[in-house]
Amino acid sequence: MKNNVSPDDLQVFLTVLTEGGFRAAAGRLGVAPSKVSTTISRIEEKLGVPLLLRTTRSVRATEQGQLLAERVAPLLCEVNAAVMETASSKGLVRGRLKLNVPGAVMPDILPPLLSDFQHRHPAVEVELVVENGLVDIIAAGCDAGIRYGAHLEKDMISIRIGPRVQQVALAASPGYLAEREHPRTPADLLRHDAIRYRLLSGRLLPWVLKDGDQTIDVEAVTRLTLSVNALNTGLTFARNGLGIIGAFRSWLESDFAGGTLVPVLPDHWTEQDGPRLYYPSRSTSAPLRAFIDFCQNSSRQNCRLRPDI
């Protein structure tokens, strides 16, 4: 039995899995959906086993298909990386960079960073997958991920991306504070309404404040709870007077300047480590290598301009 399957056909198979269907894969590859279907059928016929379970609404891998994808994906990744590196030897970086990122970096850190990166590398297509839990970026078909203080696998490398530290601030609308006594100590927060975020684990994102030489967790009365997947929405509720919200100070600067939100207990705000880019320790694609180099150069420049960050 001849079971030699071409790398191009295997790439089609992997694209169906990463894109979640034949039509989406066809759009990504720039071919007709019928051609994708024919390619999958040809692979299955050559191998003599079903690779995909098809329904009217979804496509997922069979056990044999999943095993094949796990073995083949890293190999094709290496081949593509070698090709991209060769194509980029003259200085022009081409290809696709797929990043798995938390919503927390979307409002302020990534937009200027990616804008500068794509001005420098206009032939790189960037795709962002927004997820707030720590994921296996390889299994998710991503080149790299960004996370805050996450425990990484041993075969991963991480570098700083964005600010070294970020200040966590509290804010409320002027209207809300006009109706309620302005908090003067962390203990006063217990008499106020809070807008809180719930982590994917089910735990509420803590409010950690400085109290003298110590830090304390403040359990304010929660009036509104939002999923971490709705980070930006929380500011809209705060502007409308639903309570006090905790967020990165950088998100709040425009509201502070415009007067739509007012700082609450700024002398008690704490800091946390900034986000980090993590990626496999094995060889990387040319777009990812270019992005890593760009982030490292950007971090060094920020440190020279602002030695406090």
Same domain? For 280 and 140 the reply is yes
Give, in order, the Cα–Cα distances in Å from 198 to each of 171, 202, 223, 295: 18, 6, 13, 30
At residue 241 the predicted structure's pLDDT band, cuts being 50, 70 and 90, is: very high
Same domain? For 221 and 186 the reply is yes
Buried b (16+ CB within 10 A) or exposed e, 14-51: bbbbbbebbebbbebbeeeeeebbebbeebbeeeeeeb
Same domain? For 171 and 239 the reply is yes
Angle subtended at Cα 221 by Cα 220 and Cα 223, rounded to the nearest 5 degrees: 125
Residue 86 falls inside a structural domain: no
Residue 2 falls inside a structural domain: no
Top-confidence range, 84-93, 138-147, 247-256: 247-256
Please indicate whether residue 308 or residue 287 has the higher confidence score (pLDDT): 287
pLDDT in tens, 94-114: 889 999 998 888 888 999 999
At residue 309 the predicted structure's pLDDT band, cuts being 50, 70 and 90, is: very low
Crossing angle of the two packed helices 7-19 and 63-87, in degrees rounded to 10: 110
Mean pLDDT of 199-204: 80
Residue 258 falls inside a structural domain: yes
As for how many domains the chain has, the answer is 3
In angstroms, the CA 36 to CA 28 distance is: 11
At residue 169 the predicted structure's pLDDT band, cuts being 50, 70 and 90, is: very high
Mean pLDDT of 287-308: 74
**pLDDT value of residue 302:** 59
> Where are the extended beta strands (E) located within the chain?
52-54, 59-61, 95-101, 124-130, 144-147, 156-160, 165-172, 193-198, 207-211, 214-218, 221-227, 244-248, 262-264, 270-273, 276-280
Give, in order, the Cα–Cα distances in Å from 151 to each of 29, 136, 156, 198: 34, 12, 10, 20
At residue 85 the predicted structure's pLDDT band, cuts being 50, 70 and 90, is: low
In angstroms, the CA 157 to CA 199 distance is: 25
Same domain? For 177 and 224 the reply is yes
